Chains A and B, each alone.
Chain A
Amino acid sequence: MKTVFTKPETMTDKQMHYCPGCTHGIIHRLAAEVIDELGIREKTIGIAPVGCAVFLYDYLNLDIQQASHGRAPAVATGIKRVLPDRVVFTYQGDGDLAAIGTAEIVHAAARGEKITVLFVNNAIYGMTGGQMAPTTLVGQKSTTTPWGRDKDLAGYPVRMTEMLAVLDGVAYMARVSVHDPANILKAKKAIKRAFEVQMNGEGFAMVEILSTCPTNWGMPPIEAVKWLEQNMLPYYPLGEYKVIGEVAG
């Protein structure tokens, strides 16, 4: 019998702890499929962040180093400089990458570190229970913006992909979403490119992945998917923001 669907070798059998409707599971799987397809599982080191995805190391069947909040790009830098022939990627949420770790991501990108960054943007702090993130939309409710994010009080959400794309060290920069099957396929393509860019030695590569957090958004999964589509897509436009080198051709 022909096998048409199976668990990637890069995934473990561990049952995920993610909430119903959370898209971390999809993104983990996409990363695992890409690593399988590129045949790099045994030469890849992942960096697990602080946040909901800290247990990445339970789910991905490869070497992993856990990093403190925001510092994954610095940790990845240390690893990649010691092991330049290996593949190194970070998996970071929006609080991690766009708030506490802003300096680390900017300077890893500026140095053109040959690493791949998977940036999961769900516009809220998940693990700590739904506080405002740097990417929380104006008007969006969170436990620390109980009446919705007030731009006069809390400012505006940060568009990291647009910010980083202007840096010379960046070789690949894209924003994708995983709110429906068509976009999931596009997301996988972008993730694969972001790994290929690293393997080609082209420079820094990042994919921002718009993601849902039904639990902390306070809505059922289907409604969360619609909310992402209606509210996040207009503010965070999808697409490839920077493509250079071999992957572009």
Chain B
Amino acid sequence: MSKVLMKGNEAVAEAAIIGGCKYFFGYPITPQNEIPEYMAKRLPEVGGTFIQAESEVSAINMVYGAAGSGARVMTSSSSPGISLKQEGISYIAGAELPCVIVNMVRGGPGLGNIAPAQSDYFQATKGGGHGDYRLIVLGPDSVQELVDLTIEAFDLADRYRNPVMILGDGILGQMMEPVEFRDTEIRIGPEKPWAATGARGRERNLINSLHIIPEDNDRFCQHLREKYELILTREIRYESYFADDADIILAAYGSTARICKAVVDQARQDGIRVGLIRPITLWPFPAEPFRQAAEYTGSFLAVEMSNGQMVEDVRLAVNGQKPVGFYGRTGGVVPAKGQIYAEVKKILQGGARS
């Protein structure tokens, strides 16, 4: 199929259809409204169902129900709406159900605004709801990658029986880019013998996260830990952009990484050896490339549209071997290439603050 020009929000919705998503439960919130709007039109064409729920709380619980019935199911929202979904996400993770959640992050905290931000990194990667759980978190930096990762997200969710979050931002959702749907055949998920579909000719199934005996819950949480460790060994993805010989390495994901690539290009033109390590999986976080780079590079600079969230994971990975600086814009302000480049030069001239 040739390339088509698509808005990120519409592209992620179409990608979900290709990924086999048959059910979508959502609630309006800017800047992601094109996702439910697209699904409302598109899902009936593939025999699926769209419901506009009465709240984000209800939407995520509809997702929980549909996932428990064995369906491929998705919801989408933006920051304040994702906060409301957190209880449900915890239940979904606790019941080990597969689903895909899209967060087109906007400025916060509180009502914030509707401009792009990356201030939901903590909420996405550290277990935004209660209890010991992890989401697989994917941070695409282009509409094409948004499409490719969303299609794959449904397979990942089913493979590990775990919710997967696509962590985008207002830029990614709203911008139009040429995109190619390399895969046009609608995927079908695996058989799910554990689903609660009516106990016909089999033992009854239970979808549950209650383990009232502490030892049972301990055993369950250990099982989750083993699963998460398996994901850590198998699913880490990142992009290394001119990082192999860099004197300073930028750390950025999503839209910010796009700007950082332009910084790297500019610096290289100017004869300055700047590189970029771009985590694609935000959880599992690609700690190893940062650890390895710490052996040869002078310092790191994490760049985010936040007050400094992913930078904590970079610092954990680097583990004090080299300074890790931070440059962030907040509240919906997008860092400009020149601002980041100025920060890079400042560090190269004066040494980084760690």
Q: Is the CB of A107 within 8 A of B197?
A: no
Q: Is the CB of B58 within 8 A of A71?
A: yes
Q: Is the CB of B87 within 8 A of A74?
A: no
Q: Is the CB of B210 within 8 A of A66?
A: yes
Q: Does any Cβ of A come within 8 Å of B164's Cβ?
A: no
CA–CA, A63 and B207, complex, Å: 8
CA–CA, A47 and B207, complex, Å: 9
**B23 to chain A: which residues have CB within 8 Å?**
78, 81-82
CA–CA, A26 and B197, complex, Å: 26
Q: Does any Cβ of A come within 8 Å of B61's Cβ?
A: yes
Q: Is the CB of A45 within 8 A of B64?
A: no
Contact with A along B169-189 (1 / 0, CB 8 A): 000000000000000000000
Q: Does any Cβ of B come within 8 Å of A243's Cβ?
A: no
CA–CA, A122 and B70, complex, Å: 35
The segment from A54-62, A139-147, A172-180, A193-201 that touches chain B is: A54-62
Q: Is the CB of B199 within 8 A of A42?
A: yes
Q: How many residues of A contact B (CB 8 A)?
A: 35
**B208 to chain A: which residues have CB within 8 Å?**
48, 57, 64-66
Of residues 33 through 55 on chain A, the ones whose CB sits less than 8 Å from some CB of chain B are 41-45, 47-48, 54
With contact pairs A63-B197, A86-B197, A103-B54 given, residues A75 and B65 touching in the complex (Cβ less than 8 Å)? yes
Q: Does any Cβ of B come within 8 Å of A67's Cβ?
A: yes
Q: Is the CB of B58 within 8 A of A107?
A: yes
Q: Does any Cβ of A come within 8 Å of B198's Cβ?
A: yes
Cross-chain contact of A54 among B71, B95, B210 (Cβ < 8 A): B210
A127 vs chain B, min Cβ distance (A): 11
Cross-chain contact of A41 among B51, B59, B199 (Cβ < 8 A): B199
B200 vs chain A, min Cβ distance (A): 4
Q: Does any Cβ of A come within 8 Å of B66's Cβ?
A: yes
Q: Which residues of A contact B (CB under 8 A)?
A: 41-45, 47-48, 54, 57, 61-68, 71, 74-83, 86-87, 103-104, 106-107, 111
Pull 5 A–B residue pairs with CB atoms less than 8 Å apart, ordered by A: A67-B64, A71-B58, A71-B88, A74-B62, A82-B71
If A71-B88, A78-B69, A82-B49 are given as contacts, then 16 extra A-B residue pairs at C-beta distance below 8 Å, sorted by A number, are A62-B204, A65-B207, A66-B206, A67-B61, A71-B61, A74-B57, A76-B65, A78-B23, A81-B49, A81-B66, A82-B65, A82-B66, A82-B73, A86-B198, A87-B198, A104-B61
Q: Which residues of B contact A (CB under 8 A)?
A: 22-23, 25, 49, 51, 53-55, 57-59, 61-71, 73, 87-88, 91, 95, 196-201, 204-210
Q: Which 10 A-B pairs have the closest CB atoms?
A: A78-B65, A74-B61, A78-B66, A78-B62, A75-B65, A107-B54, A63-B196, A71-B61, A65-B207, A82-B69
